[in-house]
Structure 1
Amino acid sequence: MTYLELYNALNYVDHSRTKRREMSNLILNAPTHIKPLMEIAFQVDDPVSCKACWVLEFTAKEHLGYLFPSIDTFVHNIGSVHLDPAVRPIAKICEILMKSYFQLKDKETLDALNDEHLESITSACFDWLIGDHKVAAKAYSMTSLLLLGRKFDWIHPELRMILEQNYQNGSAAYKARARMTLAKLR
C-alpha cells in the first residue's frame, strides 16, 4: 500500500471501534505501514491526521513494538499535535509506553526509549495537562507523569501543584482522576 492509498483508506475510517480496528489490522499485518501512518498522523492540521492517530493507538495497544522503529519520529512530533481528536490517542499511546516502561519493565520498551524520549514525553504530558484539552488527554497525562516521576524527581512536586491548583475548576471526571493521582503522590 502506497502512502496515497493509505491516506485515502483513512478517509473511510470513522470514530467507530469497528472501522478503527479494521484499519489497525491492516497495519498489524503489514508493519512497514507504520512509518507512513505516522507521517499522516503528524500532519497536525489535516483532519485525516486524527484518523491516523486513532489507528496508531489501536496498533500500539495490540503490538507496541511495531512503533519502536519509528519511535524517534513519534516522540519528536507529539508536542505538535493539537486537534482534540488526535491529542487523546497520542496521549493514550504515551500512557501505554509509560506503563510498559515503568510497570511491566518490558525489555523491548526499555531498549527503545532513552532519557531524551522520556523527557519529550514528559514535556508533552505537562502541556496536555495544563492546556485546554479534554479530560481523557489530561487523565492519560496524569498517569504518564505519575510513572515518569519514578525516574525524574522534579515531576511529582510539579504534578501535585498543578493538580491541586486546577482541582476546583475541573470537571467531575478530572477531579476523580486528580484525586486518585494525588492519593498515589502522598
Structure 2
Amino acid sequence: MLEITPKPKKMLSVLQEKLDYVSAYRENRLKCAQDILENPSLFEELVSICFSPENKNNHKACWILEFVSYEELIWLQPHVDFFCSNLKVLKDESSLRPIAKVVQLLVKSHFKKDENSISLSEENLQDCIEASFDWLINDVKVATKAYSIRTLYVLGNYYNWIHPELQVILNKDYGDHSAAYKAVAREVLKKIE
C-alpha cells in the first residue's frame, strides 16, 4: 500500500508569528515594536517583510518599522540601500503611510549631521526624492502626501530645483484636497515663498 506523507507545514518565523497577531490598534503596534526593540536580531527580517508586498503581513511590518524608527532610526543604516531602492515596490496604502514617515525621518536625520544621524548616498537621496514626488502626485491618502510634502521641503533646502517643482504641484492641487492637505501645503508654501 502506498503511503502518502503530508507535506511538512512551513514553520513561521518568530517575527511572522508576532505580526500575525498585530492589529491596527496603536497599543498593539507599540507592543510589537517594543518586542523588536528588545530583540534587535528580528530587525533585518522586519525590513525585508516591509518590502515584500506578497507577504500578508507586509503592511503590519511597515507599521512596526515606523514605531521602531522613532526609537532606533540608526538601525536602518546598514539597510538604507535596500530600503531606498525598494520604495517603488510599495503600492498598498497601509504600507505607504508609515514608510513615507520613515523616509521623512531618514532625510531629516541625514541633513542633521550629528553622531546619531543616518548617512544617505546620493542614490539613496534620489530614490527618496522620486518616491516622495510619486506619492505626492499619485492617488494616495493625505497622510502619505503630507509626509512627502515635508520630506520634499527638507530636500529642497539642498536641491535648488525641488522647491519650485513642489510649489507648482501644491498650488495646482490645492483646491482638490482636504483641509489636512491644505494645512500642510499652506505651511510649506509659506516657508518656500
TM-score, normalised to structure 2, is 0.90
1:46 corresponding residue in structure 2:
55
Look up the SS of the partner of 2:53 in the other structure: coil
1:105 corresponding residue in structure 2:
113
**Do structure 1's residue 21 and structure 2's residue 30 form an aligned pair?**
yes
**1 CA distance for matches of 2:89 and 2:159?**
23
**Do structure 1's residue 36 and structure 2's residue 45 form an aligned pair?**
yes
Q: CA deviation at 1:109?
A: 2.6
Q: CA deviation at 1:25?
A: 1.2
1:128 corresponding residue in structure 2:
135
1:146 corresponding residue in structure 2:
153
1:77 corresponding residue in structure 2:
86
Question: Residues 44, 176 of structure 1: CA spacing in aligned structure 2 closer, same or farther, 3 A cutoff?
Answer: same
**2 CA distance for matches of 1:63 and 1:83?**
25
Q: CA deviation at 1:36?
A: 0.7
Q: CA deviation at 1:54?
A: 0.4
Look up the SS of the partner of 1:109 in the other structure: coil
Percent of aligned pairs sharing the same letter = 42
1:110-149 CA deviation, whole Å, 9 max, x = no partner? 5x21111111000000000001111100000001000001
Q: CA deviation at 1:49?
A: 0.4
**1 CA distance for matches of 2:77 and 2:128?**
15
**1 CA distance for matches of 2:121 and 2:73?**
16
The structure whose residues are more often helix, as a share, is: 1
2:6 corresponding residue in structure 1:
none
**2 CA distance for matches of 1:45 and 1:135?**
24
The one-letter amino acid paired with 1:88 is R
Look up the SS of the partner of 2:91 in the other structure: coil
Aligned residues: 183
Look up the SS of the partner of 2:167 in the other structure: helix
Gaps of 5+ in 1: none
Choose from 159, 172, 182 the match for 2:189: 182
Q: CA deviation at 1:106?
A: 2.9
Choose from 161, 165, 170 the match for 2:168: 161
What do you get for the CA RMSD once the two structures are aligned? 1.5
Q: Which has the larger radius of gyration?
A: 2
